[in-house]
Amino acid sequence: MYAAADSGTDDAVRVLDDQCRVTGTLPLPVDPFDVEDLAQADGRLWLSDTGDNAGARTTVALTDMDTGTGAGTLRRLTYPDGARDAEAILMGSDGVPVLVTKELFGASGIYRPAGALRAEQLPSPGPTGLERVGQIGFEPTETPGGPVPFAASTMITGGAVGADGTVVALRTYTDVYLYPAPDGDVVAALTGAEPIRVPMPDQPQGEAIAFTPAGDLLSASEANGGPLPPIRVLYGATGLVTPAAGEVGVALQVDPTALIAAGVGAGLVVALGGVLWWRIRSRRRRN
């Protein structure tokens, strides 16, 4: 399990066990500006240094990391249409990084490196130009949670791809949307498939989502300036397990070789399996 603080507030990735206890740290290979999400591809961890609340950055970046040594390389990116704040990175089975922006109003943009370059093909330090390949927007929901009441259910704060590449998840502060991607095409899934919406438990600032290899979802929240909430794990529709709170309660992923999302503060960890996973598999069979 891995966890990272955002907004350049830390210089290391935490390594955690399956009870959220910190077992070690990996020093970041470069000084980050605002890491907002993590993904795994080609056996390496990828830090999405793409946060830009002020909309002022001329470049954003991806940094790969060797989880054994912490060594890595910075690869800068530029948007084709001005500065953007992005808190979700999606890395499909093709290894092409897809960024989804976080918008207060209007649709979020979907971007990937021009020419659909794989993450490992991006030159260092770059920059490599991004291309806009679509957009996505959510209708407001009544799910409680989040720091921005009027837009908490529409602002995209994290993303993940299932271990086999056939399910894509995007989350807002309040809900998770699951997209079937039977051929592993992340962009096609986001722009053409109908998602299943999963309301999250009430979280102060839910900004992290990840999959376990079994297909369960893990969700975490920042503290939003308040007390650190306890860690909770929810299985299926009813069962609730409450382990001891971890030293760092950011976004968590059970498989140490798989994807983990990034956040900051002590957080809520939620695994939704059983009925949810059956529904999305059932949907793909019908289609």
The answer to whether 114 and 106 are in contact (CB under 8 A) is no
The answer to whether 20 and 252 are in contact (CB under 8 A) is yes
* Spatial distance between the Cα atoms of 278 and 287, rounded to a whole number of angstroms: 14
Quick: pLDDT tens for 237-270. 222 222 333 322 223 232 222 222 322 222 223 3
Mean pLDDT across the stretch 193-208? Answer: 86
The answer to whether 262 and 252 are in contact (CB under 8 A) is no
Quick: pLDDT tens for 153-169. 999 999 999 888 889 99
Burial of 246 (0-12, 13-18, 19+ CB in 10 A): buried
Quick: pLDDT tens for 229-238. 554 444 332 2
Whether a cis peptide bond, with omega within 30° of 0, leads into 199 is no
Quick: pLDDT tens for 90-135. 999 899 999 999 999 889 999 999 999 999 999 999 999 999 999 9
Whether a cis peptide bond, with omega within 30° of 0, leads into 125 is yes
Nearest to 128 by CA among 116, 140, 144, 145: 116
- What is the band of 203 on the pLDDT scale with cuts at 50, 70, 90? confident
The answer to whether 235 and 271 are in contact (CB under 8 A) is yes
Strands 72-78 and 128-136: parallel
Provide the β-strand partners of residue 196.
Answer: 178
Domain that holds residue 77: 2-286
* Cα→Cα distances 20→149, 188, 238, Å: 29, 34, 22
Provide the β-strand partners of residue 91.
Answer: 97
Strands 206-211 and 217-221: antiparallel
Quick: pLDDT tens for 33-91. 889 999 987 778 999 999 998 999 999 999 999 988 889 999 999 999 999 999 999 99
* Spatial distance between the Cα atoms of 210 and 272, rounded to a whole number of angstroms: 11
- What is the band of 286 on the pLDDT scale with cuts at 50, 70, 90? very low
Structural domains counted in the chain: 1
Structure tokens given for 277: 């996973």
Q: Residue 26's domain is classified under what CATH number?
A: 2.120.10
* Cα→Cα distances 205→7, 67, 175, 253, Å: 15, 28, 12, 18
Residue type, 34: D
Burial of 84 (0-12, 13-18, 19+ CB in 10 A): buried
State pTM to two decimals. 0.81
Nearest to 94 by CA among 132, 134, 41: 41
Longest dimension (CA), the chain: 48
DSSP letter, residue 272: B
Centre a 10 Å sphere on the Cβ of residue 66 and count the other Cβ atoms it contains. Answer: 14
Mean pLDDT across the stretch 217-236? Answer: 63
